[in-house]
Chains A and B, each alone.
Chain A
Amino acid sequence: MGRGIAYFYTQLKRMIKIFPRQAIINLLVFLCVGVLMVVFIRDGLLAQDGQKYRIGLVGDMSNSYLGFGVTALQSLDDSRLMIELVTMTDEEAREAFEKGELYAIVQIPEGMMEAIESGANDKPISYIAAEGQKGIGAVVMGQIVDVASTLVTRSQSAIFGLQSIMLERGMQEVFWEATNSLNLLLIELVVNRSGFYDVEVLGIANGLSIEGYYFCSILLFLLLLSGINNSSLFTHKQTDLPRFMKSRGVGAAGQVAGEYLAYLCLMILCIVVMFIPLWLCLEKGLFTIPEWDGMGAAPLWEFLMVLLPVAAMFAALQFLLYELTAGIVSGILLQFICGMGMGYLSGFFYPAAFFPETMQRIGSVMPTGAALRYVNGSVAREEFGAAGLGVLLYLVVFLALSVLVRKNRIRRG
């Protein structure tokens, strides 16, 4: 035991000697990724906020009712925030569509309004979109066009039907007043359709905002890949020291414990160093995540505590990967491949919900998946539960495997 503690102190001394260099490199990488993250998230959100679908209206726009309808949509309807309708000629529309300046073209067939006025619905509006726009946006737009044309044509048919009945019954004195009232009622219903539903945005994972989600995932990704930068810290593949330690009574478990704990201390120090600029940014309001709105940088230190078990698990994983490989180069490669692969599958780059179900299942049971769910849960102020237990379980498994691999290394020499 005494020798094991002495070995830990010696390893710690070694880590402290290397710490400034490691901390500077980690800090630089963190700052670069942090700036990219802030820019990426801000630009993404701004783009989302300001993004409008530009739709070209072509065809027979001569009817004054249609002109009135388009003006009403552009000035009164909620869709004006998302859709910009531009009246243009066929050629202009085709040219703009080819350049990608239009999302879609809505073609009004000749005589459509006259057909509606006569109560017919045999001249449908065409919605033209590019082949590649088969995403949810195109589907929704198609549905909107379908619903709108059905509603408008059916409602107009009903209004014209009522007009005929009024004329037949000799109600000329109220004819225009009633027609206008019905038209205004229809417009009011169409314009106020947003009152029919309520949209609730649940966030992307555990109800987290995009900023909250990527704050967690990028931080974890950096921690995961810090093993590449820290490659020089691990005992090189020389077997003499482990064998010598064994002859002095420090077995594989004592050696792994000494080296791992010293490495973990260094990792925690590096995280603290990384958190200082983060704390400054949060304190000065340069960056924030909605979950911590109005709380300044106070939740950051609580978050640091939450991050410790994950740091311990990632440190154990990095330790195991270096134990498994035969040299530093193969160790770095393995760290990189594992980091990228596991990070991708667990949703470090895109929320896991975007992946097929099988991939989601694989990603969620991976160490990185457990870590992300655990950290996301803490930011979303949820119970740690199974994800926290998963992190601890992986920590124990990685350390146990490291001891087995070290034992084998000592025995084989």
Chain B
Amino acid sequence: MELELAGIQKSYQKKKVLKNISLTAGKGSCVGILGGNGSGKSTLLSILAGVQKADGGAFLYQGEDLLRNSAKIPSVLGYVPQGNPLIEELNAWDNLRMWYDRATLRKELEQGALAMLGIGSFLKTPVRKMSGGMKKRLSIACAVVAKPKILVLDEPSAALDLVCKENIYRYLEQYKAEGGIVLLATHDMQELELCEQCYILKEGVLEAYQYDGDLHHLAGKL
């Protein structure tokens, strides 16, 4: 398998938040992680993104443990946190320029990922005047700067309108089609439809789950 999590553990003082988290994912696949508030989804994703350190376990990509070689994470993985990692006073162009050189940025806006996300339509708009959907698309644009093979998203479409959601889903489908691996923490049923594999994280334990459209059954599991 292209990606493998093996026995990832994390504790906050005496509380074990993640207990031996293991999963695998192949190229062009999407893995959804469900769980109640405070179940540890964001912690797991931030460990994969190199933001937090795990107490144990391995995060293997093409056989290489990225937890032992965290300097490689930025080139392999793009991380979109729950909020928007943007500078409010600046416009989309200025925010993107932090991550892209001028030439690449122009090219991406014309025919790359940024064109697909529709960034060009609000390039000069200050972030503070953007809608939630614009901000989220811009956040994803900032995360995919290094054309990462893995994209980790923390509740990407929370509180977005349908059109924005649709735009983001289309991009994620395209990303998968190009061989990328998507890992997303979600509460959204629509997002689950993007996923080939679903897992439920409860009390620190990850369990595989087959979503069949039965919300009551799913709610009982969380």
Contact (Cβ within 8 A) B83 A247: no
A residues in contact with B53, CB < 8 Å: 411
Tell me, yes or no, whether B20 is within 8 Å of chain A by CB: no
> Among the listed stretches B44-52, B105-113, B180-188, B201-209, which one makes contact with chain A, having 4 or more residues with CB under 8 Å of it?
B44-52
> Among the listed stretches A7-15, A114-122, A139-147, A345-353, which one makes contact with chain B, having 4 or more residues with CB under 8 Å of it?
A7-15
Within 8 Å by CB of B50, from A3, A240, A247, lies: A247
Contact (Cβ within 8 A) B85 A7: no
Number of interface residues of A (CB under 8 A): 25
Tell me, yes or no, whether A238 is within 8 Å of chain B by CB: yes
Contact (Cβ within 8 A) B81 A246: no
CA distance A411 to B50 in the complex (A): 10
A residues in contact with B89, CB < 8 Å: 14, 17-18
CA distance A11 to B94 in the complex (A): 10
CB distance from B61 to the nearest CB of A (A): 15
Docked complex: B59-104 residues within 8 A CB-CB of A = 71, 73-74, 77, 79-90, 94-95, 97-99
Docked complex: A208-241 residues within 8 A CB-CB of B = 236, 238-241
B residues in contact with A243, CB < 8 Å: 46, 49, 51, 79, 81, 85
Contact (Cβ within 8 A) A244 B90: no
CA distance A244 to B87 in the complex (A): 12
Within 8 Å by CB of A240, from B77, B82, B95, lies: B82
Contact (Cβ within 8 A) A248 B81: no
Contact (Cβ within 8 A) B85 A246: no
CB distance from A240 to the nearest CB of B (A): 4
CB distance from B48 to the nearest CB of A (A): 9
Interface string of A1-26 (1 = CB under 8 A from B): 00100110111011001100000000
Tell me, yes or no, whether A73 is within 8 Å of chain B by CB: no
Closest 10 CB pairs of A and B: A244-B85, A240-B83, A247-B49, A247-B79, A249-B74, A241-B85, A10-B98, A240-B85, A240-B81, A246-B51
Contact (Cβ within 8 A) A247 B82: no
A residues in contact with B98, CB < 8 Å: 3, 6-7, 9-10
A residues in contact with B90, CB < 8 Å: 10, 13-14, 17
CB distance from A255 to the nearest CB of B (A): 11
CB distance from A238 to the nearest CB of B (A): 6
CA distance A3 to B77 in the complex (A): 16
Since A10-B90, A10-B95, A240-B83 are in contact, a sample of 5 more A-B pairs with Cβ atoms closer than 8 Å, ordered by chain A residue number, is A9-B98, A243-B51, A244-B85, A249-B71, A411-B53
Tell me, yes or no, whether B29 is within 8 Å of chain A by CB: no
Interface residues on B, range: 20 to 34
A residues in contact with B74, CB < 8 Å: 247-249
CB distance from B106 to the nearest CB of A (A): 17
CA distance A410 to B89 in the complex (A): 22
Tell me, yes or no, whether A70 is within 8 Å of chain B by CB: no
Interface string of B111-126 (1 = CB under 8 A from A): 0000000000000000
CB distance from A233 to the nearest CB of B (A): 9
B residues in contact with A11, CB < 8 Å: 87
- Specify the main secondary structure of chain B where it touches its partner: loop
B residues in contact with A241, CB < 8 Å: 85-87
Docked complex: A2-61 residues within 8 A CB-CB of B = 3, 6-7, 9-11, 13-14, 17-18
**Can you name the residue of chain A whose Cβ is closest to the Cβ of B52?**
A411
Tell me, yes or no, whether A245 is within 8 Å of chain B by CB: yes
CA distance A306 to B152 in the complex (A): 49
Instruction: Given A14-B90, A247-B74, A248-B74, check contact A410 B51 (CB 8 Å).
Output: yes
Tell me, yes or no, whether A413 is within 8 Å of chain B by CB: yes
Contact (Cβ within 8 A) A6 B85: no
CA distance A411 to B53 in the complex (A): 8
Tell me, yes or no, whether B42 is within 8 Å of chain A by CB: yes
Contact (Cβ within 8 A) B84 A240: yes
Tell me, yes or no, whether B134 is within 8 Å of chain A by CB: no
B residues in contact with A18, CB < 8 Å: 89
Instruction: Given A6-B99, A10-B90, A247-B79, check contact A413 B46 (CB 8 Å).
Output: yes
CA distance A205 to B119 in the complex (A): 61
Within 8 Å by CB of A10, from B80, B94, B143, B145, lies: B94
**In the complex, which of the residues B71, B79, B139, B145 has the most CB atoms of chain A within 10 Å of its own CB atom?**
B79
